[in-house]
A and B are shown apart, each in its own frame.
Chain A
């Protein structure tokens, strides 16, 4: 009888521990960051992001070498890929791109799609395409039809940023801007389409499949 009781207790404790672990995993979402209101002249909201080759130990002690997006909030770079933007409005996005090229798997995504005017600016120049092999990442919200390729920093650059946070004032980067219209309220998945998860099968594992790195959600509220 004692033996049965002991085994039963052990199984129950193990079950509770597994349940707690799963609950913790299932509820551990990145912090949601709200887009800031844009000036009245342009209207809508502003979203400022950066992409880095390595997130670094400061933001991710467990995966310091993973490629990642960060978002600007309160004058700081925040490690999150969950953004809140207003419904039925224009979102003005600025991305500081600090990573080197990897290249698109599908060259079709080299065309800027779903933005206002069907264009983006790269370092101040208006473009509607990026050479597929020059893409370092993409910012894409498939359900909203938004696909924006982000060209990489040349590998021979002298001031490459090693790990986050990267500052435009001190490291070589590309600046990409574009605007897109949000529709009805909802939660939309966004992701990078460049296989940039170095060291993973087809480059699409690790940071490409983990919230908070190269994919996340846009909450249209």
Chain B
């Protein structure tokens, strides 16, 4: 009995599986991927994750099908101890492998770069001078981290500082993230924003919430023993509700506002007598 053409047979199985599975993964699983659609940036990240998964599916199938195929067709017969033929270099396979993996990796790098630039950082902290800035008016909000809590300052509203983040829906927000002590990371998961909070650094991230609701805020950088307690809940509200809320906050936190230093991109915390 002649040996079947394993390469052709394996290639055919893989091709059929890929043609069936990839669209299913993209269409059915894609919309369910994190972080959801809480903001323009979150929806963009869902698209990115779908593209990554779509490209990874054929690779995953290649490995899995090869493994299963090998177990079925190349396993050692019972009772026999066989040594396979010596493996020699195959220029065609090596060349194909290098070209395919290079194309995959380089295309992903190009896609990622384009997405980062076209989406103004795609929700990530872009440092004090972002490469791209969204056009139009933006609401500036400063995120101030310290061990172990976040507070938020609104320079356009008298520099009022509040303990919980509230944002208006469908409005571009310019987050300025900084820290008063050690390194932290501001992560609003449902809004798909994550930006390092470093002392003496103004780390800018852009986000446009698209749905009214609540979101979680967590520190994503191990910042001390109570890092796990550094969490909070924020709210996305309508523009009119935001206007009402900020007016109330200006009154409620008016006494604290009088104590605050003038708004600044970063702060050198005083007093000089601090511990240490």
Contact = CB atoms under 8 A, between A and B. Distances in A.
A110 B256 CA distance: 6
Contacts of A142: 148-149, 163, 229, 232
A202 B149 CA distance: 15
A102 interface: yes
Given A111-B259, A202-B182, A195 B275 contact: yes
A111 B256 contact: yes
A219 interface: no
A39 B106 CA distance: 73
A101 B276 contact: no
Given A132-B259, A202-B181, A105 B146 contact: yes
B274 A102 contact: yes
B153 to A, nearest CB: 8
A193 interface: yes
A151 to B, nearest CB: 13
Nearest to B229: A189
B193 interface: no
Interface in A73-126: 101-103, 105-111, 113, 118
A195 B255 contact: no
24 contacts: A101-B273, A103-B271, A105-B180, A105-B181, A105-B269, A106-B146, A106-B151, A107-B259, A107-B260, A111-B259, A118-B252, A129-B255, A131-B259, A132-B271, A142-B232, A145-B163, A189-B226, A193-B149, A195-B181, A195-B275, A204-B182, A204-B224, A204-B275, A209-B226
B144 interface: yes
Give the dominant DSSP class at A's interface: mixed
Interface string B241-274: 0000000000011011011110000000111011
B231 to A, nearest CB: 9
A102 B273 contact: yes
Give the dominant DSSP class at B's interface: loop
Contacts of A147: 163
A111 B160 CA distance: 12
Interface of A: 101-103, 105-111, 113, 118, 128-129, 131-133, 140, 142-143, 145, 147, 189, 191, 193, 195-204, 208-210, 215
B268 to A, nearest CB: 10
Contact of A209 (B151, B224, B261): B224
B147 interface: yes
B272 to A, nearest CB: 8
B161 interface: yes
A103 to B, nearest CB: 3
A196 B275 contact: yes
Contacts of A107: 256, 259-261
A118 B255 CA distance: 11
Contacts of A201: 182, 276
